[in-house]
Structure 1
């Protein structure tokens, strides 16, 4: 084991539990931990009965959460001014660059033979991006060139769990092409800062592994130390194989307490794939590619942030699939709940009414808390009192105008989407 410390020294031991995990052998992770169980209770995903094990359906709450995160990620890459493309899931295994990447990755890919063609499902999003540039050429005036994509990928898994390890997932990656190493190092530093900002916003405690060739480490130690010092945390140092043409790969891991840590983000420099995909600059040389995974896949990122939400006991307002739960005290209070729900819906808030009056008030309140809804309102005899609300709402009674104004301030600049589900929980099937 080699640990790169903030002061620039390299030691062989660490007291940091997650770095010891990352340095050791991978553990079996076909267990069910507390987060798996709580995600199941939240009814985010369920196994698709028509697709087989390891393939999941996003249930209504999960679909809202998925799309809010997708929009958030889109905004991260929009800030970097990159070209967004949409690409197919299937790719041609007879393309030598594709076949080489599949074989090198060691992933278990889905294969199909159709109309005399050998096709595979994507396990990453570099194929279409780099293939497009290789096919059409590259002008130096367009460098640095940034391409970004969100694409469904598939891989066979021996073990699986919802979000954390699935056979189908949404991969997000940006590939930036540069004239020279200095340009790529400058941009890598900015990506590193973006990832650390992301970790801070979502309260994700990242730990890094630096997989580096000895030659790159020797020549660029001060630059690597700059990354470590920005993170203010020691990192695990691993040796990269120089023959693979990837001199540095930085991975950002999050510990979920049991099993293997989750790799949430990563970036790496790549000299090899520009050659394989035939990407040439005007002078006949190959560019350098930076793979920038600010978030590797939506599903795994969802698992990471859901673990923080579960620990906190409540969704943040902008990200909550249900933002407000109205609980009528009796059937006489239902009409007022419906009125409130209609007004909140017009303000694009996601609201439900627990009209399951066969259950007690205490049972319905407990269900709302279990669903981690940020705002829970008890409606009784023309009165609406707040049972639970985030700190930004300063009233114990429910004042509709003040509430919507404060929500708008709290969620300003964040993605939003309206709910498509019915307001009344009595209309919801039990599996939703």
Structure 2
């Protein structure tokens, strides 16, 4: 988390952790494309009006055959249900001889009529006499029924897929001419009164907004979509925005992909305000990076090191940074002179031993410049030029190798 925060301070981009960190918006304007929810009357396609598009109508006609097949299959399912119900009554002894003969006769006629259309399961049943295995016929009927029902289900899916695909691909020119209606819906509207954006916010999640009209799902441009609705849409058919919720209800909720330098962590804002007060400076948010403006008009950029010092209530960071850079020029020369001597630990032990002792003392001085902690070291490195960083890295590597050899 520290590295994420510190790196973000460097550019003031992306420092917000996607959790429950409290943030405040600073300097929002119309160019930031920030939105809020509002009920608004929109002109949308009349999805209940018949579609009069040749492509769609062709696809609908293509499904008529399957639609009739579905009706036929459902009719056969009802016939099979009658078989199962009638033979079930016989098995349970719930009918007299006359009704039994009627049921058996109807069963024979029904199965014979179905034999031409369905599988060999029914074709294997013979009706030369009426003393056949009723239970076997019942089980066969149940099997055939399940097959029919599965076929109807798949048929329905094919019909709906063909129609929906045709509606989904209605041409843009057609959509422009399709009848419309006015409907009051909750949608996102640009924020115009930024005084309503006040207090602290948390990142609550995302919101999805349709950017196209989809007749198959009755989705219109500007509709706030649910997760289920976007599942079947391509990423080009909607846009995703971050949702920032007012934690105390003081301000309106904000939606949008807002530049990170307009969002300030609560702790960061507190530290910057306290720092500006102690330095008698004005806190300026006009650029991508906040600045202090001193009374003499001098502008001081809040660098990662400056923020680190402010966090530790060290307000003399300009002098401290100047002092660190000056000392590192001296220490760079000392490190360079010691590296070759320390590196001789395998052959010239006495020279390497003495140089290592001096190196340890020098390392301690350098560590004191950044308070010998990870945060301070990160900012310390940001101040150094490439050549100094290279010398410092080589010095520490050689020094550590020598220490291991000497058992320190």
What TM bracket, shorter-length normalisation? under 0.3
Q: Which is richer in strand?
A: 1
How high is the TM-score relative to the length of structure 2? 0.20
Structure holding more helix per residue: 2
Higher radius of gyration, 1 or 2: 2
Instruction: Give the structure-1-normalised TM-score.
Output: 0.19
